[in-house]
Each structure stands twice: as C-alpha cells, then as structure tokens.
Amino acid sequence: MSARQQAIIAVNAGSSSLKFALYPYLADGSTGAATLSGGIDGLEPDGQPALALRTASASIKQALPTTPGDSFEQALTALRGILRQHAGDVEVLAIAHRIVHGGERYAQSVLLDAATLAELRALAPLAPLHQPHNLDGVEAFQRAYPGLPQVGCFDTSFHASMGPLEQNFALPQALRREGIRRYGFHGLSYRYVAARLAEHSERAGDRVLMAHLGNGASVCAMRNGASSATSMGFSALDGLMMGTRSGALDPGVLLHLLRQGWDCARIEAMLYKQSGLLGVSGVSADMRTLRASEQPEAAFAIELFVHRLVRECGALTATLGGVDLLAFTGGIGEHDAALRQAACEQLGFLGLRVDPARNREADGNSIMAIHASSSSVEIWVVPTDEGRVAAGDAAALLGTMTR
C-alpha cells in the first residue's frame, strides 16, 4: 500500500477571489511543481462564484453553487471538494499565504499566530487593496484547517536587501521612524524569477532588471541575486502604470484634489481602481481587450504603459551602472510579445536586441531567451510561480518544527 502524498497548499486571498495551488512535499523537505492550481472568482457580495482549475490532465471551468452566507467560507468548502476529487489521497501539511506587506519587521516568512496577525493588520493602510483580504483569508483557513500550520510569506521581504539610499524618502526623519519608507513589492515573484535565471544564465548574478507586468506592475533592479532597487515604494501604488492603479504621481496633484473638495476615500478609489490602463483608455484594464480595441484611447494607453516601463527601466539601469540581463514576467510580461518588442526597441540604446521569431514563440509556458545574437543584453521571458516560493518557505519552516 503506497503512502499518502503529503502536500502544501499555497493561497492568495483577494477581495473577491481565491487563488490556490497544491505542491507535493518531497522526501528531502523541498516542494515539487504544482500538481493542480486554479482560482475561484466572483466571491464579492451578490457575485457568481466560478472555478477555473488546471491539473496535469485537464482544464476545468465551471460555475459554483451559491447559498446564503459567507462566500469565502463557501469557496473553502469548494476547495476541499476539489482536493478530494482531483488530488487523490493527499495529506495537507501546511497552508502558505501570500501576504503583500510584512513591514519593517518581517523580512522572512513566518508561522502565523494571533499576535503576528494583529501586527500585520496594523499595516493594512499601506496596502488597502490587498492586506486586509490576505489576512481575512488566513483567518478563514485557520477555521477550515484548525491546528494546521499557517505560514505568512511576504511580498516585501525580497527587498529588505535594499540600502538606505533606496529605502529613504526625502522627508523628515520623524516620519522615517514611523515606518514611512520604500518597501517594494512583488517579492515572491522576483525570488522565483531570480532562482530560475540562476539556473539558466551565467549573467544572473550580474546587473539584472526584472519586470513583473500584470494588473499590478513593477520593475526590480538586482545585483548578485539580491534586490538593490525597485519601482514600488511605500505602497503598491508607486512606479509603473498598472491595470487600474496610477503608478508614480506628483503629490501636488493630490493636494490640488484635496483643495477641490475630494476626500480621502474618493482619492483612494481613483488611485487604486479608476486609473492606469482603465483610466487612460476608458475601455478596460485588460491589455488583451485594449489590443483588440479600435479606440485610439486604447492604443494610447498601451503606448503610455510602454513609455512608463522604459522610463523606469532607464532609471533603474542608472542605479546599476548598466544592465546585463532583462527578464519579463507576470501576465502581460509573459504573454504580450508586442509589448516586449516595443519596450526592448526603445531600450535599444542600452544594447538590447530582440529576436522577433523567438519573441513571438515565447508564450509564458516555459522560460525562454528571446535576445538576438547581436544583443549585448540577455532578454528572457520567465513564467513566474509565486506559490512555489511560498510553499517552499512553508516546507522549510516545517523542517525546523520537526528537528
């Protein structure tokens, strides 16, 4: 009789969605590639929950039944059913949670308890779109899996290696002592991309730019495998233009709006939910929809997105003193060949040359180099797997608990 497969579930809980993946826990204490992954959307009030599931042999999309009560709790019930049906006889050892903000204290993944959750709740104003929902997810999983280790894995942790010149704003020191500084985000994604690059390129330890481009977007400068600078700062609003977020903005604009009578809630909604690709185009926050649109505003939104990316890459290249490798990841970075081509052409003064055929071939299913032989900078497309990093951290913590 074969032993039960042990595994770790990595989850990312949002305001209206739950993303999940199941990673086998291996005999050496590491984790293997996900055996199933997916998400449940439509968990907002009056929403219609829908499941998207991928396994080694199938891709499933279906609506889920709705009943009165907490929709997130219903999603967890659905998840347990999914595991029974599609994962076989699996023993879940831990839940690894992606949490956007670890503040100044949490530079490593940790086991979550009541005291830790209370500290992390205090950071919610720094990431209001993500942090509260991440932590609500933790508490829901604690109820669903009582006694099972819950592990917090922080997007800010990767950037703890940034020096004081990158961490500090030109603000009074009293505010710095209150924790107002640059933190950086998308750290789990950058950790995964950095590890994959190290496996495939001899330049991975040199001057590297990684561009995580999706509904949230940022660029990270890395040297010797560690973050040295990044476009996001105190909050997940800074830096690049995003799906619905503005990116970097003159603070004078906010002062002007306040004088015009805007309150904090209205400004926050505008910056987080009504700006970016959606706000500029007036069409959609989805790059695929904009590509298919004939509206000139959609084309301009794409052009502005590329411009902001190129501008930020140029600034971060200056902090590195040059660039040896550029990697694209995230939903847009992995799948939009036209955007990669446009960005690299505008960065051609740095020596970037794309191989058009290889760029078109790169579809986000596997890591792939897309630079031409004449390029002095390597260019890679690296499908990210934030859940694999979170599951690996949970596995490492499990190892310390059993020694």
Q: What domains, with CATH codes, occur in the chain?
A: 5-154 (3.30.420.40), 203-386 (3.30.420.40)
- Residue 253: predicted pLDDT: 98
- Give the 3-state secondary structure of residue 19: strand
182 is in an annotated binding site: no
**Count of H-run helices and E-run strands, the chain:** 15, 14
Cβ 385 vs Cβ 10: under 8 Å: no
**Mean of all residue pLDDT scores within the chain:** 94
Q: Is the pLDDT of residue 2 over 70?
A: no
Phi-psi bin for 132: left (phi > 0), alpha (psi -120 to 50), beta?
A: alpha
Contact 329, 382 (CB under 8 A): yes
Lowest mean pLDDT segment, chosen from 21-25, 55-59, 241-245, 382-386:
55-59
Catalytic residue check, 206: no
Structure-block tokens of residue 224: 């010797």
Catalytic residue among 28, 41, 113, 155, which?
A: 155
227-250 confidence digits (pLDDT tens): 999 999 999 999 999 999 999 999
- How large is the average pLDDT for residues 275-286? 98
Under the banding of pLDDT at 50, 70 and 90, the label for residue 3 is: low
For the ranges 49-63, 65-79, 377-391, the maximum mean pLDDT occurs at 377-391
What confidence score (pLDDT) does residue 46 get?
A: 78
Do the annotations mark residue 332 as ligand-binding? yes
Tell me: is residue 334 an annotated ligand-binding position: yes
Average pLDDT over residues 93-108: 95
The predicted structure's pLDDT at residue 261: 98
Separation between Cα atoms, residue 98 and residue 122, nearest integer Å: 17
Furthest C-alpha separation in the chain: 72
* Distance of alpha carbon 313 from alpha carbon 199, whole angstroms: 24
- Gap between the Cα atoms of 42 and 72, Å rounded: 10
Which DSSP symbol is given to 124? G
Cα 139 to chain centroid, rounded = 21
Checking if the pLDDT of 374 tops 50, the result is: yes
Q: Is 184 annotated as a binding residue?
A: no
CA–CA gap between residue 205 and residue 122 (Å, rounded): 36
**Is residue 252 a known part of a binding site?**
no
* pTM of structure: 0.94
CB atoms within 10 A of CB 272: 19
Q: For residue 20, list its beta bridge partners.
A: 11, 38
